[in-house]
Structure 1
Amino acid sequence: MTNLLGIVLFALGICLTVALHEAGHMLTARAFGMRVRRFFIGFGPTLWSFKKNKTEYGVAALPLGGFCDIAGMTAQDDFITEEERPYVMYKKPWWQRIIVLSGGVAVNLILGFLILFVVAQTAGLANPNADVRPVVDEVTCSADQLDNGELGECTGLGAGEAAGIEVGDRILTLNGQEVATFEQLREEVLVRPGETVTIGVERGAQVLELPVTLDSVQRIVGGEMVEAGAIGLAQKPLDIIEKHGFISAFPATWSYSMYMLDATVHGIAEFPSKIPGVVASIFGAERDVEGPMSVVGASRVGGELVEANLWAAFFMMLASLNYFLALFNLIPLPPFDGGHIAVVIYEKIRDFFRKIQSKAPAGPADYTKLMPVTYVIAAALMSVAAVIIVADFVNPIKLLG
Structure 2
Amino acid sequence: MTALMTILGIAIFALGLLFSIAWHELGHLSWAKLFKIRVPQYMVGFGPTIWSRKKGDTEYGIKAIPMGGYIRMIGMFPPGADGRITARSSSPWRSMIEDARAQSYEELLPGDETRLFYTRKPWQRVIVMFAGPFMNLILAFGLFLTLFMGFGISTSVPTVSTVSQCVLQAGDPAAKTGTCAPGATPSPAAQAGLKPGDTIVTFNGDPISSYDQLQDDIRKSAGQTVPIVVKRDGAQVTLTATPIRNKVYGLDSNGDPTTGTVEAGFLGITPTSALVPLGFGATMNQMGDMASTSIHSIAALPSKIPALWNSAFDGAPRTTDQPVGVVGVARVGGEVFAMKAPLIDKFALEINLLAGLNLSLFLLNMLPLLPLDGGHIAGALWESVRRRAARVFRRPDPGHFDVAKLMPVAYVVAGVFLCFTVLVMIADVVNPVKIG
- The TM-score normalised by the length of structure 1 is 0.76
State the match for 2:330 in structure 1.
Answer: 299
Aligned residue pairs total: 348
State the match for 1:243 in structure 2.
Answer: 277
Do the aligned partners of residues 262 and 126 (structure 1) sit closer, same or farther apart at CA in structure 2, a change above 3 Å counting? farther
Asked whether the 8 Å contact 2:53–2:60 carries over to 1, the reply is yes
Do the aligned partners of residues 171 and 330 (structure 1) sit closer, same or farther apart at CA in structure 2, a change above 3 Å counting? farther
Kindly provide the CA deviation profile for residues 46-82 of structure 1, in whole angstroms up to 9, marking residues without a partner as x.
4443322111222334433211111112214142333
Letter matched to residue 242 of structure 1: V
Asked whether the 8 Å contact 2:154–2:273 carries over to 1, the reply is no
State the match for 1:216 in structure 2.
Answer: none
Do the aligned partners of residues 300 and 236 (structure 1) sit closer, same or farther apart at CA in structure 2, a change above 3 Å counting? closer
Asked whether the 8 Å contact 1:26–1:36 carries over to 2, the reply is yes
Query: Tell me, what secondary structure is at the counterpart of 2:319?
Result: coil
Kindly provide the CA deviation profile for residues 303-349 of structure 1, in whole angstroms up to 9, marking residues without a partner as x.
11122242211101110111000011000010111111000110011
Check if 1:278 corresponds to 2:308. Answer: yes
Q: Measure how far apart 1:90 and its partner are.
A: 1.3
Q: Measure how far apart 1:109 and its partner are.
A: 0.9
Check if 1:85 corresponds to 2:149. Answer: no
Find the aligned partners of 1:395 and 1:138 in 2 and give their Cα distance: 36
Query: Tell me, what secondary structure is at the counterpart of 2:294?
Result: helix
Among candidates 249, 253, 256, match of residue 286 of structure 2:
256
Q: Measure how far apart 1:25 and its partner are.
A: 0.5
Find the aligned partners of 1:145 and 1:363 in 2 and give their Cα distance: 70
Do the aligned partners of residues 174 and 26 (structure 1) sit closer, same or farther apart at CA in structure 2, a change above 3 Å counting? farther
Letter matched to residue 97 of structure 1: R
Check if 1:68 corresponds to 2:98. Answer: no
In angstroms, what is the RMSD of aligned CA positions? 3.6
Do the aligned partners of residues 91 and 174 (structure 1) sit closer, same or farther apart at CA in structure 2, a change above 3 Å counting? farther
Among candidates 128, 145, 158, match of residue 117 of structure 1:
145
Q: Measure how far apart 1:293 and its partner are.
A: 1.8
State the match for 2:90 in structure 1.
Answer: none
Among candidates 189, 194, 218, match of residue 169 of structure 1:
218
Asked whether the 8 Å contact 2:312–2:426 carries over to 1, the reply is yes
**Quick check: 18-27 or 273-282, which moved more?**
273-282
Find the aligned partners of 1:346 and 1:145 in 2 and give their Cα distance: 59
Query: Tell me, what secondary structure is at the counterpart of 1:72?
Result: strand
State the match for 2:130 in structure 1.
Answer: 102
Letter matched to residue 21 of structure 2: V
Q: State the identity as a percent.
A: 33
Asked whether the 8 Å contact 1:113–1:254 carries over to 2, the reply is no
Asked whether the 8 Å contact 1:37–1:55 carries over to 2, the reply is yes
Q: Measure how far apart 1:142 and its partner are.
A: 2.7
Among candidates 414, 425, 430, match of residue 378 of structure 1:
414
Do the aligned partners of residues 357 and 116 (structure 1) sit closer, same or farther apart at CA in structure 2, a change above 3 Å counting? same
Query: Tell me, what secondary structure is at the counterpart of 1:34?
Result: coil
Query: Tell me, what secondary structure is at the counterpart of 2:69?
Result: strand
Among candidates 389, 394, 398, match of residue 430 of structure 2:
394
Kindly provide the CA deviation profile for residues 125-157 of structure 1, in whole angstroms up to 9, marking residues without a partner as x.
468xx9x9xxxx9786336978x9452466564
Kindly provide the CA deviation profile for residues 374-393 of structure 1, in whole angstroms up to 9, marking residues without a partner as x.
11111111111112112211
Find the aligned partners of 1:339 and 1:42 in 2 and give their Cα distance: 22
Among candidates 190, 199, 211, match of residue 263 of structure 2:
199
- The TM-score normalised by the length of structure 2 is 0.70
Q: Measure how far apart 1:24 and its partner are.
A: 0.6
Query: Tell me, what secondary structure is at the counterpart of 1:170?
Result: helix
Find the aligned partners of 1:278 and 1:12 in 2 and give their Cα distance: 28
